[in-house]
Amino acid sequence: MSKVKTPKPNFVSTTNACKLCTPLGASMAFRGVEGAIPFLHGSQGCATYMRRYIISHFREPVDIASSALGEKNAIYGGGPNLKKGILNVMKKYEPQVIGVATTCLTETIGDDVPMNLKEFRDEFGDLDLPELVEVSTPSYSGTHTDGWHGAVRSLVEQLCTAKVPETGRVSILPNMVSCEDVRHLFDICRDFGIPATILPDISETLDGPALEDYVKIPSGGTPVSEIREMSGAKATIEFGRCLPKQTGGTSLEKRFGVTNHRIGLPMGLRESDALFETLESVSGNPVPRRFELERGRLIDAYVDGHKYVFGKRAVVYGEEDLVVGLCAFLAEIGVDVVLAGTGARGKGLEAAISRVTDGVARMAPEVREAVDFHDIAAEAESLKPDLLIGHSKGYRYAEAWGVPLVRVGFPVHDRFGGQRILTLGYKGALNLFDRVVNAVIEKKQADSSVGYGYI
C-alpha cells in the first residue's frame, strides 16, 4: 500500500484541541448507570463547564455535582468538602450510585479519594449509603476516552466483587457510542435471544422522553444489580481496538474467568460481521433474518452508491476507536482516508487502522496521535481532502476548505440530534453511507452551475 508522506508538525502549544479532558469522559460514563449521579472532586468550574458541554450535545439536563473546592481546601485538602458534598447529593438526589471522578486539582494536591470514601463509609455507615464508585482522572494525563474507560473499569471492579452463578446474560462494554447506538445494540441482542447488560447504557439517561414531572435522576441506565452479576455472564464483549490493556472486560476475565471478546467498534460491513459472528458463537443462535436483510441492504446500497464516493479523499478525526471504525467503513466503500487523527496518544491507532482496512484500503492514511486541529490543518491542506468526517469541532476547517463535514461522534454542537446518530451494525453503516454519499452529492449540486435534478 502506498503512503502519503508529509512532514510531521511538532508544535509545543495546542490550538483547537481534538480531545477533551479525562473527568468529562468519566462523567458521561457514570451517567449511564441506573440511579447514578456523577460527582467531580475539584473546583466548581469543572463540573459546570462539563455540564454545559454535554448539555449542548444531548440537550438533556445533566447534573454533575462538585465538591466545589475553594482556596482553603486546595491548601488543606479537599476531603471534608468531598464528604459534605456526598451528603448533600444524597439528601437532594437520593442516588443509588455516586460516581466520584478526580480532577487535575485534587490529583495534584494529593487527595486520597479511596481513603476519603472509606472514612466516609465508616463515619456514616448508619445511613442508607449509595454505592460510591471512584475513578482517578487527572486531566493532565490522557483524554476523555481514558476517563470513560477508567470509569467503566472502576464500575466493574468496585461493584462486581463476587462470583455469582451463571446468569445467561452477555455483557457489552460498547465504548463511547451514541444513545441510538446503544438502543440498536439492545435490539440486536433481543433478536438474538440474548439478555444483555450494556455498560454504560446512556440510551435513556442522555436521551430521555418528555415526562409529567422533572426527575432528579433520569430513568434508565445499567442497573447496579446487573453490574454486580457481570461475574456470572456468559461472556463480555467489549468494543475497541485501541482500548487500554486493563479494562472492565479484562478484569472480569482475570477475576472471574468470564471470556472477554475484544472486537472493534462494529462500523461498516466487516467489523459488523465480527459482532454478529461473536453474538452467534456466544448465543449459539444463528443471525436473525432481520439482520441478514440489513446486511443485504447495506451491500446493495454500497453497490448503488459506489461511484459517488470512490476515490474521494477523507480526513477523519476524533476518539481513537471511532477513527478506527470510520476507517474500516470508508475503506470498504472506496474512500481514501488521507489523514486519521486523534487527540489521544500511545493507543496503537496506526496498527489498528491497518488491521481493519487490510485487503480493502487502497492506501494507508497518515496517522496522527496527539493532534489538535492546527496540526490536522497543517497537513490536510496539502492532502486536499474532499470531505471531513468527525465531530462538530472540525466545522471551521471544513468551511475554510469548502468541503463537507459529515458529523459523527461527540460533540455535535452545531447540528440537531447528535445523540441519535446511528453508526453501529449494518444499519449504522447504512446510515453512515447515506450521509456520506449525500454529502458528496450535495457538494456537487451546490458547486454546479447547471443544477442537476437527477444525480
Partner 1 sequence: MSTILEERKDQIHLSGEGAIDMACNRESLAGAVSQRACVFCGSRVVLYPIADALHLVHGPIGCAVYTWDIRGALSSGPELHRLSFSTDLQETDVIFGGEKKLEAALDELIDRHSPKAAFVYSTCIVGIIGDDLEAVCRKMSEKKGIPVLPVQSEGFKGSKREGYLAACKAMFKLIGNGDVSDISPLSINIFGDFNLAGEIWIIREYFEKMGVQVVANVTGDGRVADIQRCHGAALNLVQCSGATLDLAKMMEEEFGIPYERVSYLGIEDMADSLYKVADFFKDKDPGILERTQKLVKEELQVLMPELARYRKDLEGKKVAMYVGGSFKAFSLVKAFRHLGMKVVLVGSQTGTREDYAELEQITDPGTVIIDDANPLELSHFIKEKDVDVFVGGVKERPIAFKLGVGFCDHNHERKEALEGFVGMLNFAREIHASAMSPVWQFVPRRAGRMTEEKKEAVNE
Give the footprint of partner 1 on residues 310-329 (CB under 8 A).
Answer: none
Q: Does 179 bind partner 1 (CB under 8 A)?
A: no
Q: How far is the CB of 139 from partner 1 (least distance, A)?
A: 4
- Candidate segments 77-85, 238-246, 331-339, 440-448, binder of partner 1 by CB under 8 A: 77-85
Residues 278-297 that bind partner 1 (CB under 8 A): none
CA 436 remoteness from chain centre? 21
Among 82, 309, 322, 331, binds partner 1 (CB under 8 A): 82
Q: Does 63 bind partner 1 (CB under 8 A)?
A: yes
CA 156 remoteness from chain centre? 17
Q: Output 211 or 450, the one with its CB closest to partner 1.
A: 211
Query: Cα(first)–Cα(last) distance of the chain, in Å?
Result: 32
- Candidate segments 101-109, 253-261, 282-290, 432-440, binder of partner 1 by CB under 8 A: 101-109
Nearest to 275 by CA among 257, 294, 256: 294
CA 64 remoteness from chain centre? 18
Q: How far is the CB of 176 from partner 1 (least distance, A)?
A: 16
Among 32, 35, 42, 240, binds partner 1 (CB under 8 A): 42
Q: How far is the CB of 327 from partner 1 (least distance, A)?
A: 24
Query: Residues near 128 by Cβ (< 8 Å), separated by ≥ 6?
Result: none
Among 26, 33, 36, 65, binds partner 1 (CB under 8 A): 65
Q: Does 139 bind partner 1 (CB under 8 A)?
A: yes
319 to 25, 235, 280, 309, 400: CA distances (angstroms): 11, 26, 28, 24, 23
Q: In this structure, are residues 1 and 363 in contact, taking their beta carbons and an 8 Å threshold?
A: yes
Q: Output 61 or 288, the one with its CB closest to partner 1.
A: 61
Q: Output 53 or 317, the one with its CB closest to partner 1.
A: 53
Nearest to 260 by CA among 230, 231, 235: 235
Among 3, 92, 190, 290, binds partner 1 (CB under 8 A): 92
Residues 103-132 that bind partner 1 (CB under 8 A): 103-105, 108-109
Residues 187-246 that bind partner 1 (CB under 8 A): 208, 210-216
- Candidate segments 60-68, 240-248, 320-328, 443-451, binder of partner 1 by CB under 8 A: 60-68
Q: Does 418 bind partner 1 (CB under 8 A)?
A: no
In whole angstroms, give the CA distance from residue 68 to residue 33: 23
Among 1, 3, 8, 44, binds partner 1 (CB under 8 A): 44
In whole angstroms, give the CA distance from residue 343 to residue 373: 9
Q: In this structure, are residues 40 and 66 in contact, taking their beta carbons and an 8 Å threshold?
A: yes
59 to 99, 285, 290, 412: CA distances (angstroms): 21, 38, 32, 11
Three-class secondary structure of residue 165 per DSSP:
coil
Among 1, 3, 8, 11, binds partner 1 (CB under 8 A): 11
In whole angstroms, give the CA distance from residue 109 to residue 426: 48
Q: Is 273 left (phi over 0), alpha (psi -120 to 50) or beta?
A: alpha
Count of residues interacting with partner 1 (CB under 8 A):
74
Nearest to 413 by CA among 131, 58, 4, 2: 58
Among 26, 29, 33, 89, binds partner 1 (CB under 8 A): 89
Q: Output 19 or 295, the one with its CB closest to partner 1.
A: 19
Residues 331-370 that bind partner 1 (CB under 8 A): 343
- Candidate segments 73-81, 272-280, 285-293, 431-439, binder of partner 1 by CB under 8 A: 73-81
Q: How far is the CB of 403 from partner 1 (least distance, A)?
A: 20
Exposed/middle/buried for residue 83 (C-beta within 10 Å: 0-12, 13-18, 19+): middle
Q: Does 39 bind partner 1 (CB under 8 A)?
A: yes
Partner residues linked to 316 by β-bridges: 340, 389
Q: Output 65 or 160, the one with its CB closest to partner 1.
A: 65
Q: Does 409 bind partner 1 (CB under 8 A)?
A: no
